[in-house]
Amino acid sequence: MNKLPVHSAPLVPFTASGELLIGGESLSRLAERAGRTPFYAYDRGLLKARVEQLRAVLPRGVKLHFAMKANPFVPLVCFMAGLVDGIDVASAGELMVALNAGADTAEVSFAGPGKSESELSQAVASGILINVESEREIELLAKIADRLNVKPRVAVRVNPGFELKGSGMKMGGGPKQFGIDEERVPGVLARVGALGLRFEGFHLFAGSQNLNAEAVCEAQRQAYALATRLAVHAPAPVQVLNLGGGFGIPYFPGDRALDLQPIGDNLAVISERCARELPGARIVIELGRYLVGEAGVYVTRIVDRKVSRGQVFLITDGGLNHHLSASGNFGQVIRKNYPVAINGKADHAREVASVVGPLCTPLDLLADRVDLPVADVGDLFVVFQSGAYGASASPQAFLGHPPCAEMLV
């Protein structure tokens, strides 16, 4: 198999004619199976290969968790639950998916600001680990513990003073809605102990979508050092140390894939220190986008072709309503094109075209002036790197267009 010759080198293979293969099936065949466009397709083989790639470099004993917010498609979560050690959820809805997928409750954790009392009650009743993010949550958990006669399992999510340099989204450092500022944590730990909650550890997540291995390593070193300093104030020995993730994937021209080996080596050093300094603690790495992002494609069909003052526009039956990230409206500061292709036209003449969706807004732009094979009405247009923050992160009800389909192949 060759690899598709587009920027950012997606992992999805294709035939000599340019027909994409997802899970060994041609994209044209999958479109017939889906019964409609647009749709997302996720490749089981690529998901499994990514987990195996990580296992090969992670030290033995480091737990690998899937952050479900990246892709909560139920069949995919069920598949991932059989590959990873645990699931991290960000709502009661995701919690139910994780439990129904058969995830081990000992390895399910719940993070996110603004958890409701109902959500906290569900989490306590389920026996999962709750990453507390405010003093309010701690007081609510104490009330719930009395009512249910169950001791809640808690970890303190810490907002560190540092951030993950070069990350796409900064989740720690400075004022943040996430976690508890590190200088307040000793007092919070005292309160956790006074209320009789079951303290288990710390959660530190400094940022996401980083392609610089040394930046990731430095954040992990700082997170571990902070956890050891805070551990002296803990009401019980640390059992869990979640160092977050932040591993990025290449999306745009010039992006280079993250080098995992330095991260594995760094975690080996941290693990050795942890065995001495925090005996009994297990290190957790929490990844979402890195596990699933490159294993998915978004597929939409060209329904019209027009030229406006010399610029070619390919109009498709899906756009930002299904794939907000590709439109540049989900966290991009400066809009850049995802890697894209026209299915089955590897040897055709080429042109510069913009690909837009059917929505009545100029924001509905999937590819801006990219070099593509000359496309016709009926051709399938593909957006790669679409396995994370796709369907569930998009305004599918916007302007009343139909929702997209999803499949695991």
Among 253, 287, 321, the domain boundary falls at 287
Kindly state whether residues 359 and 245 are assigned to the same domain.
Answer: no
Contact 160, 172 (CB under 8 A): yes
Q: Using an 8 Å Cβ cutoff, are 219 and 205 in contact?
A: no
**265 within a domain of the structure (yes/no):** yes
Note whether 92 and 155 are same-domain residues: yes
Tell me whether residue 239 is in a domain. Answer: yes
Establish if 67 belongs to a structural domain.
no
DSSP output for 212-272: -HHHHHHHHHHHHHHHHHHHTT-SS---EEE----B----STT-----HHHHHHHHHHHHH
Q: Tell me, what CATH number does 164's domain have?
A: 3.20.20.10
By DSSP bridging, strand 282-287 and strand 380-383 are unpaired
Q: In angstroms, rounded to a whole number, what is the distance separating the alpha carbons of residues 141 and 129?
A: 12
Range of the domain at 180: 72-287
Report pLDDT digits (tens) over 350-381.
Answer: 999 999 999 999 999 999 999 999 999 999 99
Give me the CATH number covering residue 335: 2.40.37.10
118 domain residue, yes or no = yes
**374 or 15, greater pLDDT:** 374
From the list 219, 234, 233, 225, the residue with the least C-alpha distance to 277 is 225
Query: Is 56 among the domain residues?
Result: no
55 part of a folded domain = no
For residue 9, the model assigns a pLDDT of 53
Answer whether residue 64 is part of any domain. Answer: no
Same domain, 98 and 199: yes
The answer to whether residue 333 sits within a structural domain is: yes
Q: Could you say which of 287, 305, 335 is where a domain stops?
A: 287
The mean of the pLDDT values for the chain is: 92
Note the pLDDT of residue 18.
Answer: 86
Tokens of 28: 């044209």
Domain boundary among 256, 287, 318: 287
55-85 pLDDT per residue, tens: 999 999 999 999 999 999 999 999 999 999 9
Q: In the predicted model, what is the mean pLDDT of residues 29-33?
A: 97
- Which residues are registered as beta bridge partners of 26? 21
> 113 and 9 share a domain?
no
181 and 39 both lie in a single domain: no
Cα–Cα distance for residue pair 223/286, rounded to 1 Å: 14
Query: Given the DSSP bridges, would you call strands 296-308 and 39-42 parallel, antiparallel or unpaired?
Result: antiparallel
Q: 203 near 239, Cβ under 8 Å?
A: no
H or E stretch at 55 = helix 44-57
**The three-state (H, E, C) secondary structure of 112-133, written as one string:** CCCCCHHHHHHHHHHCCEEEEC
The count of other CB atoms within 10 Å of the CB of residue 32 is 9
126 plus 28 within the same structural domain: no
Within this chain, do residues 234 and 92 fall inside the same structural domain, yes or no?
A: yes
Instruction: Quote the distance between the C-alpha of residue 179 and its chain's center.
Output: 19
Q: Are residues 327 and 298 in the same domain?
A: yes
| pLDDT at residue number 15 | 85
Do residues 153 and 299 both lie within one domain? no
287, amino acid identity = L
Q: How many domains is the chain partitioned into structurally?
A: 2
Q: What is the pLDDT of residue 1?
A: 33
Q: What gap in Å lies between CA 184 and CA 198, rounded to an integer?
A: 19
Arithmetic mean of pLDDT, 196-216: 91
- Do 101 and 216 have their domain in common? yes
321 shares a domain with 278: no
Q: What is d(CA 313, CA 357) in angstroms, rounded to the nearest whole number?
A: 10
**Residue 106, both tokens:** 């000992």
* Same structural domain, 277 and 327: no
Per-residue b/e over 34-50, b at no fewer than 16 CB within 10 Å? Answer: beebbbbbbbbebbeeb
